[in-house]
Amino acid sequence: MAEYDGELLSYLSLTPHLKVLRNCGIFPLDSTSPNIKKRLHGVYICISFCLIMLYTLLQIIHVFQVRTDIEKVMDAMFLLLTFLDCIFKQVMFMKKPHKILEILNIMKGPSFNQGLAEHRPLLVRTINHARFLLRLFNKLCILTCFLWITLPIYLHLNNEIVEFTIWVPFDTNENSKFYIVISYVWMQTTWLGLNNSTMDIFIVYLFAQIKTQICILRLNLENLVSRCQEEARNTSHSFTQLLELRFRGIIYHYNQIIKFSKINEEIFSNAILFQFLVSGWIICTTAYRTINMNPLSGEFLSMILYMICILSELFLFCFYGNEVAHESQRLMESAYCMQWEELPVKYRRYLIIFMERIKCSILPKAGKIVPLSINTFAQIVKTSYTFYTFLSKSNAN
């Protein structure tokens, strides 16, 4: 943990994510960057977004052309839905960068970085988990996209006809044109994978940061009396002076957590809801595609990896939303465990008022409707299976 000495540990958990988001043209550069660099990066963001929109349009045209063939539609739909989901999230990042910067400034603030030794393990664990998952999902996406192009290349080398899931105005089976299209498909899908996975892990670890800060708040609450007593013995300040100072700090920290949570929900709750809605169809169409695949083929492995990525990202949203709600509910327990009987009567009243406030737990929701919980994840998987069963039976008939 010595490597993080002097750092803003809360903010540090998302610095690698911000670097990838900026490199991929999703989030603007820091305000301290030179103006010319910021302008050029703004142009880069527009170009990046236009390229994703173009690829999505080519997919929509293809789906329209093959709309009478359910097999070809299913082959194209899972990736089209993924692109639409990515576009929706990217619009949120482009539309509200000032709100995201407000969240990041809270993470740089003193209430989220109090510098106490007992807080460090919680913050460092969040940093390590955030970095590990970012690297893992980025690499899984790159591997999946690479495996997607192995079958078309194999078929082309064996002089078999290859059909892409995008519309192109020429015959893609001519040798030179095939490699141009396959390179374009690989670069665009890999770009999508990096964008989507990084945005998802970034949003997930905003929820993880809320959970970590609530854990820190609980520690501060439970140790409030003992810490004030110990400090009063070692300094010239009285117990009540220290109690006043630290209790105000706890209230301010709680207010910052609430503010952080509300801004986070304002920015991303609709994007998460849209992801929940399309993920059911993505899982369903992905499972449908694998029915007739050879389990030993690279294509089958790529689809399994893709499904693992989609399910894992959904699970992480629901898991950390559930963790935030759980830790928030435990705040009341921490208030009871803080040796409140040793507080002066005035501060007992303050504590009662504070406890009334924390009765209303933080409950993260997608679209301010769907709770982020393990039950929600199970319901999405169940719904996906229902869609899959319906499609399979329809195809059999």
Q: Give the model confidence (pLDDT) of 208-227 as tens digits.
A: 999 999 999 999 998 888 88
**Confidence band of 396 (pLDDT split at 50, 70, 90):** low
Q: Can you give the residue range of the structural domain that contains 251? A: 2-396
DSSP 31: T
Q: How many CB atoms lie within 10 A of CB 80?
A: 23
In this prediction, what percent of the chain has a pLDDT beyond 90? 57
pLDDT of residue 4: 57
Mean pLDDT for all residues in the chain: 89
64 vs 291: which has the higher pLDDT: 64
Q: What is the pLDDT of residues 219-255, one digit of tens each?
A: 999 888 888 888 888 888 888 888 888 889 999 999 9
Q: Is the pLDDT of residue 257 over 70?
A: yes
Q: What is the pLDDT of residue 340?
A: 80
Q: What is the pLDDT of residue 395?
A: 65
Contact call for residues 302 and 148 (beta carbons, < 8 A) = yes
- Round to whole Å and give the CA distance between 247 and 62: 62
Helices (H), the chain: 9-12, 15-23, 35-65, 70-95, 97-108, 120-157, 175-222, 224-234, 239-289, 298-329, 331-336, 345-358, 374-396
Record the tokens describing residue 158, joined without a space.
């064996």
Specify the number of domains making up the chain. 1
Read off the pTM: 0.91
Residue 236 vs residue 367, higher pLDDT: 367
Q: What is the pLDDT of residues 268-311, one digit of tens each?
A: 999 999 999 988 888 888 888 787 777 877 778 888 888 899 99
pLDDT in tens, 94-114: 999 999 999 999 999 999 999
1: pLDDT strictly greater than 60: no
